[in-house]
Amino acid sequence: KAIFAGIWKVIRRLESPLPRYVETFPFPELMERAGDTYYELVELPGFDDLKGRLVIDWGRATRAWHQWLRDKPILELAPVGQVSPFPGYLDFVLSFEELGDMIRHPDANRVWHQMLSAVAGIYLITDRLTGQLYVGSAYGKDGILGRWKTYVQSGHGGNVELKRLLDAEGSRVEDLTFTLLRTLPR
């Protein structure tokens, strides 16, 4: 299976890659080899609404980075705003952006809403930039989901330390991730 990322048109064939790869790439010798073929590409417009939603059967050549568009069956078209299928209570880490999408699109994330509103629990927020950890609990009427909605609405959910961080350093919510440590009955 493959998730649709876009469609590109070949503009021209190149002698070497353009633009050059980042200078800090640890294996520059892998980027240019005699006999390699490089192309200048331009992404075709009109397919943005399918990116990340359309799942196709990649076929038998699963190691190929490109495929021809012939005979590629569509397996799924995920609803707009779907984060991912619910993996289980202790098997996910959501970015702040994913959490927001999940909450703003309840129909597309129906199972997430059902499962997270059904339980109370202990959760962990991680600041990916600093490594700072924030542990919280959710025990209200709407369980974990209800508590996490307050983070999406305010950015800090009333957490004193997160509020201090966001007041001092502006909008850093994009650096936060959310996961569950333990579920409890509501």
pLDDT in tens, 32-83: 666 677 888 999 999 999 988 898 888 776 666 666 777 789 999 988 889 9
pLDDT tens string 139-162: 989 999 999 999 999 888 888 888
**Distance (Å, rounded) from C-alpha 13 to C-alpha 91?**
44
Q: Minimal CA–CA distance to 134: which of 85, 87, 89, 175?
A: 175
DSSP letter, residue 20: P
pTM equals 0.70
Q: Angle at the Cα of 143 (from 141 to 148), degrees rounded to 5?
A: 115
